[in-house]
Amino acid sequence: MTMKFVMLFLVGLMMGGCGKMEFVQEQVEKNYTNADGLIHAYPTEQDSEYLSETIGLYMEYLVLVEDEENFSKQVELLKSHFLAQEKDYYFIRWRLNENAATNALIDDIRIITALEQAAGIFGNENYKIIADQLSEAVSSVQSEGGYTVDFYDWSLELPAQRLTLSYLDDNGAITAESYELLNNVNASEVFFPEYYDTAAEQYISSKEVHMIDQLLIALNRENRGQQSELFADWLKEEWNEEQKLYGRYDRQTLKATVDYESLAVYYYLHAYFSSLGESEMADEVFQHTKEITADGMLDNAHFFDFIHYQLLVQKQ
């Protein structure tokens, strides 16, 4: 029995909510995949959406566990169903729909990164070629006022007029001016603005904040050497008092506006506490996440939450 097989077996043992020692890939195939091999959003619901977000997240997981066979299958599905060509450029439709003529920056960056990593790990130069083609499209047309924007409408040949700050993961396709927006956000408030309006040339903040966005912005800033002390202090206090984090909060009152928890939120919360060196809190997050999945939270989980939990298990 190889060490890699042993690790996969242990992951199977650790997965809460399923009641069986199934590997993640087997669960995906059984619960989330249609006859064509495409992954839908909800388990056993083949009429739920098919998104580039989903295929990108699964590619990220398959790179992490170095599953070359299944990664190759996802690349072929990407090419045959999501990849489109306009003139000299290749782009990824954000959802599986013949009329979908826009891409999504965050999904593109995730897929580009997975392809680049896979090219090195699996020694497949074709993955790097696809990644470069996608990066070229983003860097060539998907900008407004010097900023890389959320999407490009290929039917209208128009870029978006906003940049969502949670999308600013490190990638060479994104302009340096875009990353400056992370550095210049107002740090005198607990929560960050969600996006930058390139037409109005100003940050936009919503009354209700999504914790996935807030955590991603904080992580993006942390990765670029920008601390977010007010947000970090509030987050640590909230965790110490509640031992849980909800999906959305009111910007002014700092109180939860929903009563649900999210596996994806806990993935990013664990990552953020780890980046701050708060290893004890990060471990508490992981233990809490295992407890709620053991209570059945994975049974009907959206693929976004399902795969983020599996990524958390692997990285822990």
Average pLDDT, the chain: 92
Structure tokens, 85: 């060509």
Q: Using the predicted structure, report yes or no on whether residue 11 has a pLDDT greater than 50.
A: no
Distance, in Å, from the CA atom of 219 to the CA atom of 20, rounded to the nearest integer, reads: 34
| pLDDT top residue among 8 and 96 | 96
Q: Let me know if the fold of 20-160 is the same as that of 185-316.
A: yes
Distance, in Å, from the CA atom of 241 to the CA atom of 131, rounded to the nearest integer, reads: 44
CATH number for the region 185-316 comes to 1.50.10.10
Q: Using the predicted structure, report yes or no on whether residue 206 has a pLDDT greater than 90.
A: yes
Q: Using the predicted structure, report yes or no on whether residue 316 has a pLDDT greater than 90.
A: no
> Residue 173: its pLDDT value, please?
93
- What average pLDDT does this structure show over 251-263? 98
Residues above pLDDT 70, as percent of the chain: 93
- Tens of pLDDT along 114-169? 999 999 999 999 999 999 999 999 999 999 999 999 999 999 999 999 999 999 99
What are the backbone dihedrals phi and psi of residue 84, each rounded to the nearest 5 degrees, phi first?
Answer: -130, 155
> Residue 185: its pLDDT value, please?
93
Residues 6 or more apart from 119 whose CB is under 8 A from it?
125, 126, 127, 128, 131
Q: How confident is the model at residue 22 (pLDDT cuts 50, 70, 90)?
A: low
Radius of gyration of the chain (CA): 20
> Residue 295: its pLDDT value, please?
87
Encoded amino acid at 271, one letter: A
- Tens of pLDDT along 261-309? 999 999 999 999 999 999 999 999 999 999 999 988 998 999 999 999 9
Domain ranges of the chain: 20-160, 185-316
Please check whether residue 44 is in contact with residue 31, taking contact to mean a CB–CB distance below 8 angstroms.
yes
Q: Using the predicted structure, report yes or no on whether residue 2 has a pLDDT greater than 70.
A: no
- Hey, what CATH topology would domain 20-160 get? Glycosyltransferase (1.50.10)
Q: How confident is the model at residue 4 (pLDDT cuts 50, 70, 90)?
A: very low
Q: Using the predicted structure, report yes or no on whether residue 103 has a pLDDT greater than 50.
A: yes
Please check whether residue 226 is in contact with residue 232, taking contact to mean a CB–CB distance below 8 angstroms.
no
- What average pLDDT does this structure show over 34-62? 96
Q: Taking the complete model, does pTM exceed 0.85, yes or no?
A: yes
CA 196 to chain centre: 20
Q: Using the predicted structure, report yes or no on whether residue 17 has a pLDDT greater than 50.
A: no
